[in-house]
Structure 1
Amino acid sequence: MPQNFRLRFDGAVAARELRSAAARGLFLGVEHVLGLSNDVVPLDEGYLQSTGTASVDEPSLTGMVSFDGPYAVRQHEELTWRHAPGRTAKYLENSLNSAGPEVAALIAAELRRALR
């Protein structure tokens, strides 16, 4: 028996939902990177760790992780300084480089969820 189907597709709504899902996934990704960075950020009194933030600019789909302490850049770049065990310079860069697959998976999961 032949069957007839009618499909009404609104591309603008689909694009809007997918962009929103991508932004949610990106936010989860930058939160993940922030968590990894917090695990290795140089720690003396915990001030630098407390300045870490994660945010997403939804219109441009740009994720940001930053540490805003007055010495954050110097701690990040100074490879000769000694740190407590498990803490290191390049705390943000190394965390970001190692988290690529996980961030991509978080974004993909949100996109799949939106397509259901």
Structure 2
Amino acid sequence: MTAQRARLNWTGTAATTAIRQAAARGLLLGAEHVLQASRQRVPIAEGTLERSGAASVDEQQLAAAVSYDTPYARRVHEDLNARHSPGRSAKYLESVLPQTAGDVQAIIAAQIRRALR
């Protein structure tokens, strides 16, 4: 029986780096998806609150955030007694999180799969 040889090139560090970069990209795309969904529910008077929405990612911590940056964003989000136009509501950000969670997971997974090709 003849001895068989095999060669293995270990690229663990490169693979880990590619996965982290893909995860960060997926987190940003996922946060933007949540932002877009929440913009469909933001109460509108002049549109300032809706335009103040932003998605961001901390690549070191692999954490994403969606925020609205007006002095009254928190008050509008939490005031369950306020009246809003049809389809618009308080908890405009919080309410979309459970509905978009599966989509966000799929977006992140797709980015990681793409990086591993």
- TM-score, normalized by length of structure 2? 0.94
Aligned residues: 116
Amino acid at match of 2:35: L
CA distance in 2 between partners of 1:37 and 1:24 (Å): 20
After superposition, residues 66-81 of structure 1 pair within 5 angstroms as 66-81=67-82
CA distance in 2 between partners of 1:91 and 1:113 (Å): 32
Gaps of 5+ in 1: none
Residue 60 of structure 2 corresponds to 59
Amino acid at match of 1:93: E
Residue 114 of structure 2 corresponds to 113
Deviates more, 1:9-18 or 1:22-31: 9-18
Q: 2:45 aligned with 1:44, yes or no?
A: yes
Shift in Å at residue 5 of structure 1? 3.6
Question: Which aligned segments of 4 or more residues in structure 1 are displaced greater than 3 angstroms?
Answer: 2-5
Q: Tell me, what secondary structure is at the counterpart of 1:55?
A: strand
Q: Tell me, what secondary structure is at the counterpart of 1:99?
A: helix
Q: Tell me, what secondary structure is at the counterpart of 2:93?
A: helix
CA distance in 2 between partners of 1:95 and 1:35 (Å): 10
Amino acid at match of 1:49: E
CA distance in 1 between partners of 2:4 and 2:82 (Å): 72
Shift in Å at residue 7 of structure 1? 1.8
After superposition, residues 1-16 of structure 1 pair within 5 angstroms as 4-16=5-17
Deviates more, 1:20-29 or 1:7-16: 7-16
CA distance in 2 between partners of 1:109 and 1:25 (Å): 8
List per-residue Cα deviations over 1:41-84 (Å, max 9, x = no partner). Answer: 01010000010000000000010000011110000000000001
Q: Tell me, what secondary structure is at the counterpart of 2:13?
A: helix
Shift in Å at residue 13 of structure 1? 1.1
Task: Select the structure of larger CA radius of gyration.
Answer: 2
After superposition, residues 27-38 of structure 1 pair within 5 angstroms as 27-38=28-39
Gaps of 5+ in 2: none
- TM-score, normalized by length of structure 1? 0.95
CA distance in 1 between partners of 2:95 and 2:67 (Å): 13
Amino acid at match of 1:20: Q
